[in-house]
Amino acid sequence: MMISNTDTSAPAGPVGVILAGGLARRMGGVDKGLIDIRGKPLLAHLVARLAPQCAGLALNANGDPGRFAAFRLPVVADSVTGFAGPLAGVLAGMDYCAQAHPAVETILTVPADTPFIPHDLAARLDAARNDAGARIAVAASDGRLHHTVALWPVSLRDDLRRALTIDDERRVSGFIARYANVAVDWPVEPRDPFFNVNRPEDVEKGQGIARQG
């Protein structure tokens, strides 16, 4: 895609990259980000929480980008051929950031099906990464790592490209394990902030969370 208005300043925060390139098999192949939650697409809930934390946003998605036109976000497709999984989306986000926001050193990835992420996600991941001297910071809750909710240095993009195209690495956890990393835990009360709409029955759960504010 053509990217214009290149930003050469150094804005606060990472570039947020919403990962919407999955096949969504458990949801019948629909775009999960377009599922209605309390009168708004799931993506709208996520963007409202993510945008204030970031220097800019981009959406990683494959296929016709026009279906996301209402969100007025840059849509970046995987550059790795075939369905290479979430790591291909991370790479697409890094490449976008390097071109459109060259002064920004990190990207924050979040799956498109996690509408209720914490308002302090970027700040806590960045602080933990700096305190630990780590390259990558990963969100965690309820004893589980959320490998695609992570803060990544854009400087790893050539390493990631090699991992995908030469090493055939497809596991997000496998790539993260190559580098110093730190996990940042969030409480799950009153709810898990990394709740994701992964199955049809999760839609009703999401409606309930949204009703509770």
Per-residue pLDDT of the chain (213 residues; tens, 9 = 90+): 333 344 444 557 999 999 997 654 444 456 888 888 878 999 999 999 999 999 999 999 999 999 999 999 999 999 998 889 999 999 999 999 999 999 999 999 999 999 999 999 999 999 999 999 999 999 999 999 999 999 999 999 999 999 999 999 999 999 999 999 999 999 999 999 999 887 776 776 777 677 776
pLDDT value of position 168: 96
pLDDT value of position 31: 83
Q: What is the dihedral of CA 198, 192, 68, 89, to 10 degrees?
A: -80
pLDDT value of position 198: 76
Domain locations in the chain as residue ranges: 15-211
Is 11 within 8 Å of 54 (Cβ atoms)?
no
CATH superfamily of 15-211: Spore Coat Polysaccharide Biosynthesis Protein SpsA; Chain A (3.90.550.10)
Question: What span, in angstroms and rounded, lies between the C-alpha atoms of 77 and 91?
Answer: 10
pLDDT value of position 11: 59
pLDDT value of position 6: 45
Query: Which residues of 14-105 form beta strands (DSSP E)?
Result: 15-19, 36-37, 40-41, 56-60, 75-76
pLDDT value of position 206: 72
Question: What span, in angstroms and rounded, lies between the C-alpha atoms of 57 and 4?
Answer: 14
Query: Which residues of 30-93 form beta strands (DSSP E)?
Result: 36-37, 40-41, 56-60, 75-76
pLDDT value of position 58: 98
pLDDT value of position 147: 98
Question: What span, in angstroms and rounded, lies between the C-alpha atoms of 119 and 138?
Answer: 15
Question: What are the φ and ψ backbone dihedral angles of 47, each rounded to 5 degrees?
Answer: -60, -40
pLDDT value of position 182: 98
HSE at residue 71, side-chain half, CA atoms within 13 A, is 26
